[in-house]
Amino acid sequence: QVQLVESGGGLVQAGGSLRLSCAASGRTFTTYDMAWFRQGPGKERKDREFVAVFTRSGGTTFYADSVKGRFTISRDNAKNTVYLQMISLKPEDTATYYCAAKTTNLSFDPTTYDYWGQGTQVTVSS
Protein backbone atom coordinates (compact mmCIF):
# COMPACT_ATOMS: atom_id res chain seq x y z
CA GLN A 1 0.00 0.00 0.00
CA VAL A 2 0.96 3.61 -0.44
CA GLN A 3 -0.31 6.78 1.18
CA LEU A 4 -0.28 10.03 -0.77
CA VAL A 5 -0.25 13.57 0.62
CA GLU A 6 -0.57 16.57 -1.68
CA SER A 7 0.53 20.11 -0.95
CA GLY A 8 1.21 23.37 -2.76
CA GLY A 9 -2.24 24.49 -3.79
CA GLY A 10 -3.48 28.02 -3.33
CA LEU A 11 -4.97 31.13 -4.87
CA VAL A 12 -3.17 32.65 -7.82
CA GLN A 13 -3.97 35.20 -10.49
CA ALA A 14 -4.38 34.18 -14.11
CA GLY A 15 -0.97 33.86 -15.74
CA GLY A 16 0.64 32.87 -12.48
CA SER A 17 2.40 29.68 -11.44
CA LEU A 18 2.16 27.03 -8.75
CA ARG A 19 4.03 23.83 -7.98
CA LEU A 20 2.14 20.95 -6.43
CA SER A 21 3.88 18.19 -4.54
CA CYS A 22 2.72 14.68 -3.69
CA ALA A 23 4.66 12.79 -1.05
CA ALA A 24 4.25 9.02 -1.01
CA SER A 25 4.85 6.66 1.87
CA GLY A 26 6.32 3.20 1.52
CA ARG A 27 9.37 1.71 -0.12
CA THR A 28 7.80 0.72 -3.42
CA PHE A 29 7.34 4.17 -4.95
CA THR A 30 9.22 3.18 -8.07
CA THR A 31 6.68 0.46 -8.86
CA TYR A 32 3.84 2.95 -9.33
CA ASP A 33 2.71 5.06 -12.22
CA MET A 34 2.10 8.46 -10.63
CA ALA A 35 -0.58 10.75 -11.98
CA TRP A 36 -2.38 13.99 -11.34
CA PHE A 37 -6.11 14.40 -11.82
CA ARG A 38 -8.38 17.33 -11.08
CA GLN A 39 -11.99 17.66 -10.06
CA GLY A 40 -13.72 20.88 -10.94
CA PRO A 41 -16.46 22.58 -8.93
CA GLY A 42 -19.67 20.60 -8.94
CA LYS A 43 -18.05 17.58 -10.56
CA GLU A 44 -18.27 14.07 -9.15
CA ARG A 45 -15.37 11.82 -8.26
CA LYS A 46 -15.97 9.62 -11.30
CA ASP A 47 -15.59 12.67 -13.51
CA ARG A 48 -12.11 13.56 -12.34
CA GLU A 49 -10.12 14.83 -15.28
CA PHE A 50 -6.78 13.36 -16.20
CA VAL A 51 -4.01 15.96 -16.10
CA ALA A 52 -0.65 14.16 -16.37
CA VAL A 53 1.10 10.88 -15.63
CA PHE A 54 4.71 9.84 -15.11
CA THR A 55 5.20 6.15 -15.75
CA ARG A 56 7.17 3.87 -13.48
CA SER A 57 9.15 2.33 -16.31
CA GLY A 58 11.01 4.43 -18.78
CA GLY A 59 10.01 7.69 -17.20
CA THR A 60 7.49 8.49 -19.92
CA THR A 61 5.10 11.38 -19.41
CA PHE A 62 1.68 12.06 -20.87
CA TYR A 63 -0.46 15.17 -20.61
CA ALA A 64 -4.02 16.20 -21.24
CA ASP A 65 -4.27 18.46 -24.27
CA SER A 66 -5.64 21.25 -22.08
CA VAL A 67 -2.40 21.49 -20.08
CA LYS A 68 0.27 20.60 -22.65
CA GLY A 69 3.00 23.20 -22.76
CA ARG A 70 1.89 24.71 -19.45
CA PHE A 71 2.16 21.88 -16.92
CA THR A 72 5.14 19.63 -16.24
CA ILE A 73 5.07 16.45 -14.19
CA SER A 74 8.25 15.16 -12.60
CA ARG A 75 9.20 12.67 -9.93
CA ASP A 76 12.05 12.30 -7.47
CA ASN A 77 12.29 8.63 -6.57
CA ALA A 78 14.85 9.34 -3.85
CA LYS A 79 12.28 11.55 -2.10
CA ASN A 80 9.21 9.46 -3.00
CA THR A 81 7.67 12.61 -4.41
CA VAL A 82 5.94 13.60 -7.61
CA TYR A 83 5.50 17.21 -8.67
CA LEU A 84 3.26 19.18 -10.96
CA GLN A 85 4.71 22.48 -12.10
CA MET A 86 1.96 24.70 -13.46
CA ILE A 87 2.60 27.92 -15.37
CA SER A 88 0.37 30.30 -17.34
CA LEU A 89 -2.55 29.30 -15.17
CA LYS A 90 -6.05 30.03 -16.38
CA PRO A 91 -9.33 30.40 -14.47
CA GLU A 92 -10.47 27.12 -16.03
CA ASP A 93 -7.63 25.35 -14.21
CA THR A 94 -9.49 25.99 -10.96
CA ALA A 95 -10.10 22.61 -9.33
CA THR A 96 -9.10 20.29 -6.56
CA TYR A 97 -5.97 18.49 -7.71
CA TYR A 98 -5.42 14.89 -6.73
CA CYS A 99 -2.35 12.71 -6.84
CA ALA A 100 -2.95 9.05 -7.72
CA ALA A 101 -0.94 5.86 -8.04
CA LYS A 102 -1.34 2.54 -9.81
CA THR A 103 0.81 -0.48 -10.55
CA THR A 104 -1.02 -1.94 -13.55
CA ASN A 105 -1.14 -0.84 -17.17
CA LEU A 106 -0.87 2.80 -18.16
CA SER A 107 -4.25 4.49 -17.96
CA PHE A 108 -5.82 7.92 -18.05
CA ASP A 109 -9.03 6.62 -16.45
CA PRO A 110 -9.36 7.65 -12.80
CA THR A 111 -11.37 4.53 -11.96
CA THR A 112 -8.30 2.37 -12.61
CA TYR A 113 -6.12 4.08 -10.01
CA ASP A 114 -5.69 2.32 -6.70
CA TYR A 115 -4.48 5.03 -4.37
CA TRP A 116 -5.44 8.67 -3.96
CA GLY A 117 -4.40 11.62 -1.90
CA GLN A 118 -6.82 13.95 -0.15
CA GLY A 119 -6.47 16.68 -2.77
CA THR A 120 -5.19 20.23 -2.80
CA GLN A 121 -7.26 23.21 -3.97
CA VAL A 122 -6.04 25.41 -6.81
CA THR A 123 -7.99 28.58 -7.49
CA VAL A 124 -7.09 30.85 -10.40
CA SER A 125 -8.66 34.29 -10.39
CA SER A 126 -9.23 36.28 -13.56
Kindly report which listed range (36-40, 57-61, 70-74, 105-109) carries the lowest average pLDDT score: 57-61
Helix, strand or coil, per DSSP, at residue 29: helix
Task: Give the helix/strand (H/E) hosting 54.
Answer: strand 49-54
Calpha distance 78→11 (Å, rounded): 29
Per-residue pLDDT tens over the stretch 36-51? 999 998 999 889 999 9
- Residue 51: what pLDDT? 98
Whether residue 57 is predicted with pLDDT greater than 90 in this model: the reply is no
Task: Give the helix/strand (H/E) hosting 49.
Answer: strand 49-54
Calpha distance 20→115 (Å, rounded): 17
State how far Cα 87 lies from the chain centre. 14
